[in-house]
Amino acid sequence: MDIPRMRANFARSAAAGDEAPLFFYSHLFLSHPETRALFPVSMVHQRDRLFRALGQVVDLVDDLDSLVPVLQALGRDHRKFGTVAEHYPAVGASLLVTLEHFDEDWDAELAADWTAAYGLVAQVMVEAAQEDSAAPAWWDADVLSVERRTLDLAVLQVRPRTPLPHLAGQAVSVETALRPRLWRYYAPANAPRPDGTLELHVQAHDGGPVSSALARQVVAGDVLHLGPAVGTCTLPADSDRDLLLVAGGVGLAPLKALLDQVAREGPERRVDLVLGARTGRELYDLPALREAEQKHPWLTVTPVVSDDELATGVEHGELTDVLRARGPWTSREAFVAGPEPLVHDVAAALTAHGLPPARVRTQAFTPSRQSPTVEGEVSA
């Protein structure tokens, strides 16, 4: 395959903005009307996701060791939409028509390359879905409690009716009947518990239909649908290094799960959890973390506030400056989770000061992301 040419071709379609996904979905629904039922009634929050995901696949197409696990996870996860093997050729045909439509240099060689590439992608996803066919496509989960910590942030305790396998640091997709066929990813804030319950931290965002419903409307007694756990932001099984955990906003959730795993399973190690926030009010889970700090002598919790001089019991300043002052962290295994700019800045600062990039794992929490398995991102 001529991968550079394929990337250039895809870039032309992506440069068309909304026109490309509009063209794709119009072609798909007209040529295969049965696929319309797989998508939400409103496509406003859906249109750009296919091309965003395709762009990420194109970026990894020459790194099969990274790409294949991503595609396998996507194939298993897409079962919750009702996707079956017969749907993949329809999507592939519409994709090729779209890529041709936006590229004047399209020819038979490029068509052959894309056909072969899409065929391999579909094959990996279909085989992964078939191998996972004995597992549920999704889990019904009862909402046990909803604690609204701020006007736009809630902590939900939910219990799947059948066991949902997951690892600390992974994410699950969530659907509510209030927003049917719209799924968003959230990382449980706990390691697996004997009773199977999950703690979800949800921050409502403007224009975020799922996050708004979960944070403001869902109540105890409601039933959610949960997809299979995905993601690799987990503790390495072969490492007992001390940990540096850096969180912003609800990026705390997967890192709190890692703390929970260390407390439950060990091995005991030094853990520094550094929380970044603009104001003291945004430190929504600090009391629980202080309680954990008192219980576990190996844990140090450092809240950092950048824009609130009246906040007490915290460090003041920029998160990266506080990390630099409290370092060095070169012996640590680091996990960084939170808003995309924060994750980028912290990861860059840590590596610039000597922490090997291979020991910096990240989860960027970005509104309306479709899947964390491609870029390590989780939606909020």
- DSSP readout, 108-121? HHHHHHHHHHHHHH
Residues 340, 374, single domain; the answer is yes
Both structure tokens of 270:
């030094």
At 163, which CATH number?
2.40.30.10
User: Please, what is the end-to-end C-alpha distance for the chain in angstroms?
Assistant: 37
Say if residue 251 is in the same domain as residue 352: yes
The two structure tokens encoding residue 71: 């595609």
340 lies in which domain range? 243-378
For 259, the token pair is 């703390």
Mean pLDDT to the nearest integer, 331-356: 94
- Reported as a pLDDT band with limits 50, 70 and 90, residue 298 is very high
When mean pLDDT is compared across 14-18, 51-55, 163-167, 264-268, the lowest value belongs to 51-55
Domain final residue, candidates 131, 150, 168: 131
Is 231:170 a contact under the CB 8 Å cutoff? yes
Assess if residue 316 is contained within a domain. yes
Q: Are residues 221 and 278 in the same domain?
A: no
The CA distance from 3 to 106, in Å, is 14
Per residue in 69-81, pLDDT (tens digit) is: 888 888 888 888 7
Q: Domains in the chain: how many in total?
A: 3
Domain end, chosen from 80, 99, 131, is at 131
Q: Is residue 168 part of a domain?
A: yes
Amino acid at 337: A
- Summarize pLDDT for 188-218 with one digit per residue, the tens: 999 999 999 999 999 998 878 899 999 999 9
Residue 325 lies in a domain: yes
- Residues 13, 93: one domain? yes
333 located within any domain: yes
CB–CB of 185/376 below 8 Å?
A: no
Same domain, 299 and 201: no
For residues 47 and 168, membership in a common domain is answered with no
Mean of the pLDDT values across residues 33-57? 76
CA count, 13 A, side-chain hemisphere, 371: 27
Q: Are residues 249 and 355 in the same domain?
A: yes
Of 169, 191, 226, the one marking the end of a domain is 226
Judge whether 260 and 168 are in contact, CB under 8 Å: yes
Residues 7 and 76 in one domain: yes
Please tell me whether residues 218 and 190 are part of one structural domain.
yes
- Mean of pLDDT over the chain: 89
CATH number at residue 15: 1.10.490.10
Do residues 169 and 64 share a domain?
A: no
Is residue 209 located within the same domain as residue 252? no
**For the stretch 330-348, what's the b/e string if a residue is b when 16 or more beta carbons lie within 10 angstroms of its beta carbon?**
eebbbbbbbbbebbebbbe
Please indicate, yes or no, if residue 238 is contained in any of the structural domains. no
Residue 237 lies in a domain: no
Asked if residue 233 belongs to a domain, the reply is: no
What's the pTM value of the predicted model, to 2 decimals? 0.81
Residue 375: pLDDT above 50?
no
List, for residues 111-152, the tens digit of each pLDDT value.
999 999 899 889 999 998 888 888 888 999 999 999 999 989
Residue 287 is assigned to a structural domain of this protein: yes
| Domain co-membership, 151 together with 89 | no
Q: How far apart are CA 254 and CA 336, in angstroms?
A: 9
